[in-house]
Chain A
Amino acid sequence: MASRYSMWSVFRNGLSGQQHWDRVWRDPEPASHYDVVIVGGGLHGLATAYYLKKMHGIRRVAVLEKGWIGGGNAGRNTTIVRSNYRLPGNREFYEHSLSLWENLSHELNYNVMFSQRGHVTVLHSPGAIDTFSRTYNTLRMTGSDGEFWDLDTLKKNIPHLNYAADARFPIYGATVQPRAGTARHDAVVWGYARAADALGVDLIQNCEVTGITRDADRIASLQTSRGVITGDKTAFAVAGHTSQLWHMAGLGGLPIESHKLQAFVSEPLKPLLDHVVAFSVGGGLFYVSQSDKGGMVFGGDLDWYKSYAQRGNLPMVQNVAECATALLPCLGRVRLLRHWAGVMDMSMDGSFFICKTPLSNLYLNAGWNYGGFKASPASGWYFADLIANDRPHDVIRHHDLQRFARGYIIDERGAGADPKLHG
């Protein structure tokens, strides 16, 4: 078991030339049988494994990862954490997630560098002010924090936005969630992996599920690149590629399409932006923060067509760059360091699934749209609760696959049944 990180351990290992740190997590051979097998070693799968052990005392838990820990969307996001969701279910879920984030470094004994720098949504019309005020009033009425900043307050806090009177989208004010912010994405995934491993979870890397054997309405076994593995319960947490496993299990279609989302980081700059800033107008979406290394980390809309390619297209690079310079003209001559794309489960109403499935021992965690990173602590928490107790928690009882048939659409944007519109 890995030793506990502390000021003392940093000091001691500093004196001995950093030669005596323990392995961060074991690299076990897969056993043939587990109580719970989680497919997907991303943030959601790892958090699920951690809470299954921590909260529910499940004995034998494995996480199967087809690549390596931290190599998927855990390493392909813009690291924004916020809870400004309005609809019942989403509201409580994301609020719970934010409260887990607030103690996550202590919980995991791993510095996830959660920085509550505030999330600022810039507003460009009186109508936008009304709409967002409604959401942020809902936040305030349900135990969260939300503020409205008028133009003077906004200018004082973020002086270099484009406040010109002739700006294409003149700024009227902003809604702000002060407790929101960013976290270090690698640290979160490594922290959950290390903490789960320390509790005895087997993290099996380079283990791709290649086939699924059914026994009537049960999953009998998983064929993997490292042998056959069986579990009393199986859980899918592979957002981006949920449909492939679903087909492998012989379950047909899902209310999900896979789309790709690009993210960008610039060359490092001196401190420029203290907050997370989001800009959303018809035809443009842009969100930006500055990393601790000084890089401007930002992203925009989906690439607008379905894709499993983990690479982005150039028209969207141009779109995002136009948004960047519309909002922050001072970025005009900043050079990009990297850009990348991740494959997302875009669901039919823009909300996630944590639910039981048509198979009695299979559980589903999917459909994270843009919201997967911020959601991961609560996603693991509620998914573990579902798997351990075989019933959904009250908060996520509507986040199932049958909600469309019931007419219970959880659509924050009101965009309708088109996955690409739920950015």
Chain B
Amino acid sequence: MIKIDCPFCGVRDHSEFSYGGDGSIEWPALDASASDWVTAVYERDNIRGKQWETWHHLYGCRQWLLVERDTLTHEIHTVKLAHSGCGQLSR
């Protein structure tokens, strides 16, 4: 079981969370070209090793988190809030 240290709830099993996906994607502006959107929506680096990814604490505080995790060993290096503006609530 992967344990994720949620900034709001503390260390919880990953089964409380829902996996989002690649957290390094930068979404283009709404009026960006179609090819920019194709790249952002469909193309992934699919890193074997440390990567940033999003997790949703679905059965906890329901916040989206940015998690730095190794996709080969499942070791978690960093957990932080995915959105700015709610940092003042963190422990």
A313-B1, A405-B35 given as contacts; is B72 within 8 A of A243 (CB)?
no
Say whether B83 faces chain A, with CB atoms less than 8 Å apart: no
- Contact string against A for B residues 9-31, beta-carbon threshold 8 Å, 1 for contact and 0 otherwise: 00001110011011000000000
User: In whole angstroms, how far apart are the Cα atoms of A18 and B46 in the complex?
Assistant: 48
User: In whole angstroms, how far apart are the Cα atoms of A263 and B51 in the complex?
Assistant: 26
Say whether B61 faces chain A, with CB atoms less than 8 Å apart: no
Within 8 Å CB of B45, what residues of A? Answer: 243, 247, 252-253
Nearest-neighbour CB distance to chain B for A137, whole angstroms, equals 31
Instruction: List which B19-55 residues lie within 8 A (CB) of chain A.
Output: 19, 21-22, 34-35, 38-39, 41-48, 51, 53
- Are B19 and A304 in contact, CB atoms less than 8 angstroms apart? yes
* Residues of B contacting A: mostly: mixed
Residues of A within 8 A of B (CB): 241, 243-244, 247, 252-258, 304-309, 313-315, 348, 404-405, 417-420
Residues of B within 8 A of A (CB): 1-2, 13-15, 18-19, 21-22, 34-35, 38-39, 41-48, 51, 53, 71-74
- Are A313 and B72 in contact, CB atoms less than 8 angstroms apart? no
Within 8 Å CB of B35, what residues of A? Answer: 405
Nearest-neighbour CB distance to chain B for A366, whole angstroms, equals 11
A247-B45, A253-B44, A257-B46 given as contacts; is B15 within 8 A of A315 (CB)?
yes
Within 8 Å CB of A307, what residues of B? Answer: 71-72, 74
- Are A306 and B53 in contact, CB atoms less than 8 angstroms apart? yes
- Are B46 and A404 in contact, CB atoms less than 8 angstroms apart? no
- Are B43 and A252 in contact, CB atoms less than 8 angstroms apart? yes
- Are A309 and B74 in contact, CB atoms less than 8 angstroms apart? yes
User: In whole angstroms, how far apart are the Cα atoms of A256 and B13 in the complex?
Assistant: 27
Of the residues A243, A255, A305, A418, contact of B14 by C-beta under 8 Å: A305
Within 8 Å CB of B34, what residues of A? Answer: 405
Of the residues B19, B39, B41, contact of A306 by C-beta under 8 Å: B19
User: In whole angstroms, how far apart are the Cα atoms of A305 and B65 in the complex?
Assistant: 14
- Are A308 and B72 in contact, CB atoms less than 8 angstroms apart? yes
The winner among A243, A253, A304, A305 for most chain B CB atoms within 10 A is A305
Within 8 Å CB of B21, what residues of A? Answer: 257, 306, 418-420
User: In whole angstroms, how far apart are the Cα atoms of A300 and B51 in the complex?
Assistant: 26
A-B CB contact pairs (8 Å), 19 listed: A243-B45, A243-B46, A252-B43, A253-B44, A255-B43, A257-B22, A257-B44, A304-B18, A305-B2, A306-B46, A309-B71, A309-B72, A313-B14, A315-B13, A348-B41, A404-B41, A405-B38, A419-B21, A420-B19
Nearest-neighbour CB distance to chain A for B87, whole angstroms, equals 25
A305-B19, A307-B74, A405-B35 given as contacts; is B46 within 8 A of A258 (CB)?
yes
User: In whole angstroms, how far apart are the Cα atoms of A258 and B34 in the complex?
Assistant: 25
User: In whole angstroms, how far apart are the Cα atoms of A348 and B25 in the complex?
Assistant: 15
The winner among B42, B46, B51 for most chain A CB atoms within 10 A is B46
